[in-house]
Amino acid sequence: MKPEISEFSYGYALTSNLVDRYDLKSAGAPIFPSLYEEGKTGGYDVELPKIAWFVQFKLSDCLKRGNARHAALIGVPHFRFEIRPARYSAQHQLLLDLEADGKDVFYCSPAFHTMSELNDAFRTGAVAARTVFVAPSFIGPLADPDDHDVAFVVGPGGVWFCSEPKEIRHETAEAIFIPSATRQRKFQPRPHRYDQFFTDLGEELMQVYEKSNARHRDIDTGSLRPVRPVIGPSRFAAYASQVLFGCQLFVTARQ
């Protein structure tokens, strides 16, 4: 069954849940306003962004019939989202390149598909808990130009990359967004300036895109650069994340 919800609705609900539960900030909105004012006057900030996450929203179909393609493998009902095939889109390879540059990147897809389920998950703050997170590297490069998808259930059924099924890793929101002494933060901005964090990040995003060997890249990053002085570093980083990689950018000020 095709999803009854829109990608925008799911993205809004998940963003709201992540911001509320994990103390994240959605870059591109007016984030850390008091710190931004300090940065403009040359001050140095205490609660600076420490890490950035790149999240791409993927709606999922719900498969309920016993004749579904992967029913014998993981049972029914299960959920499935598509990976854009390499013959049409560079998206997956671009996300692999972004992750290879040291960024935390995830596809995220809901284990629900109806409006009533979205409303219930949003009302109870369970959108993130009912979402599966899959890093592009868990899938790996697409070896052929064919159609591929990720099939999953929440629980012991696991997550599978198909068309030739193979079980792959996945993450939960708790594992990704709750701080851990064993989790190594990958993005290291220059010391202590709020605006410098986003300036560096925006520049890195354009460099990753420019250096990518992915096919079908059709955006001239030079056309983006005049935008940055107008909208500022944080909004530009969020804009570049969305335009070049199709990802929502989240940051946190926690250690």
Domain ranges across the chain? 7-250
**Interval 47-63: pLDDT, tens:** 455 688 999 999 999 88
Q: Residues 173-222: pLDDT tens digits?
A: 999 988 653 344 454 444 446 678 889 999 999 999 999 877 667 888 88
Residue 145 identity (one-letter amino acid)? P
The model's pTM: 0.83
User: Residue 88: which pLDDT band, with cuts at 50, 70 and 90?
Assistant: confident
> Secondary structure of the chain in the HEC alphabet?
CCCCCCHHHHHHHHHHHHHHHHCCEEECECCCHHHHHHHHCCCCCCCCCCEEEEEEECCCEEECCCCCCCHHHHCCCEEEEEECCCCCCCHHHHHHHHHHCCCEEEEEEECCCCHHHHHHHHHCCCCCCCEEEECHHHHCCCCCCCCEEEEECCCCCCEEEECCCEEECCECHHHHHCCCCCCCCCCCCCCCCHHHHHHHHHHHHHHHHHHCCCCCCCCCHHHCHHHHHHHCHHHHHHHHHHHHHCCEEEEECCC
| Residues counted in the chain | 255
Residues 151-166 have a mean pLDDT of 78
CB 35 within 8 A of CB 43: no
pLDDT at 194: 67
Question: Where does the pLDDT of residue 246 fall: very low under 50, low under 70, confident under 90, or very high at 90 and above?
Answer: very high
Cβ–Cβ under 8 Å, residues 243 and 224: yes
Residue-wise pLDDT for 29-45, tens only, equals: 544 443 334 334 443 34
Question: What confidence tier does 27 reach under pLDDT thresholds 50, 70, 90?
Answer: confident
Structure-block tokens of residue 218: 């059709």
- Please report the pLDDT score of residue 243 as a whole number: 93
